[in-house]
Homo-oligomer: A and B are copies of this chain.
Amino acid sequence: MAIIAVGHKNPDTDTIVSAIAVADLYKKAYGKDVKPVAQGAVNPESKFVLDKFGLAAPEIVTDATGQQIILVDHTDLSQSLANLDKGEIVAVVDHHKLGDVTTTNPLEMWVWPVGCSCTVIKGMYDFFKVEVPKPIAGAMLCAILSDTVMFKSPTCTDADKKAVDALAKIAGVSDYMSIGVEMFKVKSAVEGTPMKDLLNRDYKDFDMSGKKVGIGQLEVVDLSILTPYKDGLYAEMEKAKKEGGNHSVFLLLTDIMKEGSEMLCLTDDPSVVEKAFGKKIEGKSVWLDGVLSRKKQVVPPFEKAFKG
């Protein structure tokens, strides 16, 4: 039976492309049969990337029972497959903080504090001296541009930029920034999307000191695109909070050109926002100047705020 390579719930481009790339690399480096899968359908941005480079969307798998698994782009149980303890994790490739996944057996882990899991995977291709296939190189560079908001995010490192340069050469892409802009325009498109899908597009639940805290993010090239949708999104956040039994649900509306985020807030304890960011909620939201990265600029201050 094939090993499955799988990213987090509500898959984004990095999670989808990382699963595809890791499966390719493990086949070639170890001769193992690895199948990329995903916990859900691909979002419009990922579809644009896969279509552009002629790659197929991964099959959907949501349960780990009886599977051998390579986890990509996450190590939090809440973001992973159901019944993870009934499968066997053989490897982890990630670029986030270390979450609460544990294993029974020794495993392989490649985790670097860089902007994108695909940057780690580029390093792995180099380490194993395996050539990145042209279409996968193209998709990987898009994943890095997406996760680093075209190098603007504070999560972006020199390693991410170097990886994009090298991947662009392999993919034969001369102007990757224009592909990036095209990709973010696709990502910004909200018209006709049900509010629920929009909230879930990049939404993750975190366990913060025993409290369930959901944090979603929508990145757009211009925040005004979202103005007509704020009330509808807020109503969806209320539903999600109730259904999930969450302590809090936050939604970052990120303007990648202005380089900041309006955070819609729904919480049992509004003081956590002030503790985390030194600003009070005005109405239903707070403007966080310079905040582009949930991982680096939002999750850590919230975790500290929830601790005490």
Which residues of A are interface residues toward B (Cβ below 8 A)? 89-90, 92, 94-114, 127, 155, 295-296, 300, 303-304
Contacts and interface: CB of A to CB of B under 8 A. Distances in A.
A11 B102 CA distance: 23
11 contacts: A92-B111, A94-B109, A95-B106, A96-B106, A97-B105, A98-B102, A100-B102, A105-B113, A107-B113, A108-B112, A109-B110
A110 B95 CA distance: 12
Contact of A98 (B97, B109, B155, B300): B109
B95 A98 contact: no
Contacts of A100: 100, 102
Contacts of A109: 92, 94, 98, 109-112
Contact of A104 (B101, B104, B110, B300): B300
Copies in the complex: 2
A98 B111 CA distance: 13
A111 to B, nearest CB: 4
Given A97-B102, A105-B113, 7 more contacts: A94-B109, A97-B103, A104-B300, A106-B155, A106-B296, A108-B111, A109-B110
Contacts of A155: 106
Nearest to A123: B127
A108 B96 CA distance: 9
A300 B105 contact: yes
A226 to B, nearest CB: 28
Nearest to A299: B104
Contacts of A96: 106
Contact of A304 (B104, B112, B113): B104
Given A92-B98, A98-B92, A111-B109, A104 B303 contact: yes
